[in-house]
Structure 1
Amino acid sequence: MKRTTLLAIPAFLALSSAASAATVTYNAAFVSNYLFRGLSQTDDGPALQGGADVKNGNAYAGAWFSNVDKPDGAEGLPVEMDVYFGYNNQFDGFNLDMGVRTYNTLFDVGREETEFKLGTSPAKGLSVNMHRGVKAQYWYPEVTFEKHLPQRLYLDVAVGMWMVDDADDKALTARVEVARDFPEFHKIDLFIAADFISDDTPYGDNNDKDDSDLNFVIGVRKNF
């Protein structure tokens, strides 16, 4: 287990200390493929995921877990653990959301990353965010839109762009998800999503194949 993971564990445990003054929620999901910004983290296999979120005023923090594909020969558990925190500054008719997220893996050949976020929500359901990865040195601007539909349906749309400093390629990503909640079945959500990336090697150069990829994902999730 790497040092970044060891540092993340106390951060997750510290969430409970704020529980008396904050709102704590939990989530769990099972998905047919864990896709992160167009890239499968499970070699196109299923994933079991879950996490906890704490909100206290404009401040928030959380931790999230998922199984991932582990490289051959790696030692440890095939698990990703993310820890994040931030503050959503509220002004007169304007907000500025500043956050930090660490991506950690519980095996020794991990893909650790620290990512900073700066974002705002100019309209209901609409968010505009800029992400900066420190270790891999990338920018990822993203626009997301959420809308409730009739018949207890809701729509999530996200469009982003991988822009890696030392890579010749850029990759457009897009995800459209439709979900429906079922309060009569323990308040679970069922969803289906289409996930697209214009270049499945966004860290590559001009010599790679630059293949686009389109995946369809189904899943079930529940918030507690």
Structure 2
Amino acid sequence: MAEPVLAIHDVAAGYDGRRVLDGVDLVVPAGRLTAIIGPNGHGKSTLLKAISGLVRVSAGSIALHGTRIDGLRPDQIVERGVIQVPQGDLLFPGMTVLDNLLMGAYRQDAARDAGARLDMVFTLLPKLKERRHQIAGTLSGGERRMCGIGRGLMAGDGLLMLDEPSLGLAPIVIDQIYEVIFDLCAAGRTILLVEENAQRITERADSIHLLDNGRFVWSGIGAELMARPEIIEAYLGA
């Protein structure tokens, strides 16, 4: 069996002495779309932050390509190829779209290939090319989300972590965002996706993991999840 891109074992983490994650285990295979679903406030974003080094891991281990990264600084983790596109926009609102994208190419290898990466982003997200000289703060909500994803893509080809990319967007814009995500998957990109709306990913995710109160309580594929309406009703409010 090939070594996974990411292996999380028995991880605990939280804030100000309050444990949010407790005994989390997860494997993210190369070239696959791994999805984490679950209710709001139960640890999904905290898990991504723990992987990125933004939240301290108090127990357990996180390994990238077999080498532990828990305990490293966030910038060191990014240099090793872990790219997180956080929830919400978090752009530099006073800068142009182009400058926001170029800010993503700060890793040494990404900076060397910034021109080619920019072409790739503009191919995947042509609206950004149209808006490249526009001030980011004046973009629509969907355009800001696309710019955030584009900035993440500028950072390199490693593990891409997306935290609720559909949050707060109109259905037609969500469809556009997910078309890009699925195109990346088809091209072999390794993606760890946090999503509250399970129906968005049931047909396309290679594996789905339900996080509740800081622990994974169910794992499987989309067809298995849709065959368990009691899980959807109990945990996802649908």
Q: Same fold (TM over 0.5)?
A: no
> Which structure's residues are more often helix, by fraction?
2
More contact order relative to length (CA 8 Å, sep ≥ 6): 2
TM-score of the two chains, using structure 2 as the length reference:
0.30
TM-score of the two chains, using structure 1 as the length reference:
0.31
> Which structure's residues are more often strand, by fraction?
1
